[in-house]
């Protein structure tokens, strides 16, 4: 195993295609974190995998709480990432297509989402992939508990209101992170 330290030169961009966490300066590839480096000389690929993940980064699956929805965005607080509660809340947002009839998440939902990038100083999340979506939610009219009614729809057991949501396959069946339960 080859371990690179931050700032270590790993190769030149003409010779290798870098993947993972790196920076390119003057045509050279440098590690930015303590990383496990795998060089595939045949395919001309350098794979740079951080040994320690310090923060939520692009591609991570996170558990978040929806603070409010103001189309075209739903604003969320990330409470858990990589199965580990975060020390402090991190804000993010999900793009909600204004042309869509319904929002995939509602205020107060606990969702599983993927970090897809940063924009305007916030992490951008998405729930569109399979396996992602709402894990727990309540009726946003009366606050009653919801039960699955069909694919991507849930019904309030109190008022009978049907909500269209992007439900995760394990909606209501997964034990939520400790931080979410406390809130």
Partner 1 sequence: MENQLIINGKRSDGRGPTDLRPLKIDVGIIKNAAGSSYIEHGKNKIIVAIYGPKDSHRYGMNLEKATLRCRYHMSPFSTEERKNPQPSRREIEISKVIRDALEPSLILENFPKTMIDIFVEVLQSDGGSRSASITAASVALADAGIPMKDLVEAVAVGKVNGTLVVDLNDIEDKEGEADMPVAFMLNENKITLLQMDGKMTVEEFKAGLMMAMEAAKKIKEIQKEALLKKYSHDENKK
**Chain positions contacting partner 1, by CB under 8 A:** 1, 3, 5-9, 21, 23, 30, 32-34, 36, 50-55, 57, 86-91, 118, 120-122
Q: What burial class does residue 109 get, using C-beta atoms within 10 Å of its C-beta: 0-12 exposed, 13-18 middle, 19+ buried?
A: buried
Is the CB of 77 or the CB of 153 nearer to partner 1? 77
What is the closest distance, in whole angstroms, from the C-beta atom of residue 182 to partner 1 in the complex? 16
Strands (DSSP E) contained in the chain are 2-4, 9-12, 17-20, 22-25, 28-31, 35-40, 45-50, 61-70, 73-81, 84-95, 110-119, 122-126, 133-136, 146-150, 153-156, 162-164
Q: Among residues 11 and 145, whose Cβ is nearest to partner 1?
A: 11
| Residue 11 C-beta: closest distance to partner 1, Å | 14
Return the number of the residue (86 or 154) whose C-beta is nearest partner 1: 86
User: Quick one: 28 or 126, whose CB is closer to partner 1?
Assistant: 28
CB of 13 to partner 1, least distance (A): 16
Q: Closest approach of Cβ 84 to partner 1, in Å?
A: 12
Spatial contact of 142 and 159, defined as CB atoms under 8 Å apart: yes
Quote the CA–CA distance of 108 and 36 in Å, as a whole number: 39
Report how far residue 136's alpha carbon sits from residue 138's, in angstroms, rounded to the nearest whole number.
Answer: 7
Residue closer to partner 1 (CB basis): 25 or 42: 25
To partner 1, the closest distance from the beta carbon of 36 in angstroms equals 7
């Amino acid at each position: 195993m080859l371990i690179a330290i931050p700032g270590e030169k790993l190769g030149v961009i003409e010779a290798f295609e870098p993947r993972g966490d790196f920076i390119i300066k003057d045509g050279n590839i440098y590690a930015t974190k303590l990383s496990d480096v795998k060089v595939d000389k045949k395919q001309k690929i350098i794979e740079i995998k951080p040994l320690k993940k310090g923060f939520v980064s692009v591609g991570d699956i996170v558990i978040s709480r929806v603070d409010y929805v103001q189309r075209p965005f739903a604003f969320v607080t990330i409470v858990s990432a990589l199965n580990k509660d975060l020390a402090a809340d991190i804000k993010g947002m999900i793009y909600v297509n204004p042309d869509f009839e319904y929002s995939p998440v509602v205020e107060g939902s606990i969702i599983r989402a993927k970090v897809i990038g940063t924009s305007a100083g916030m992490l951008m999340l998405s729930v569109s992939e399979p396996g992602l979506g709402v894990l727990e939610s309540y009726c946003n009219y009366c606050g009653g508990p919801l039960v699955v009614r069909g694919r991507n729809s849930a019904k309030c057991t109190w008022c009978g209101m049907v909500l269209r949501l992007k439900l995760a396959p394990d909606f209501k069946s997964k034990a939520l992170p400790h931080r979410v339960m406390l809130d």
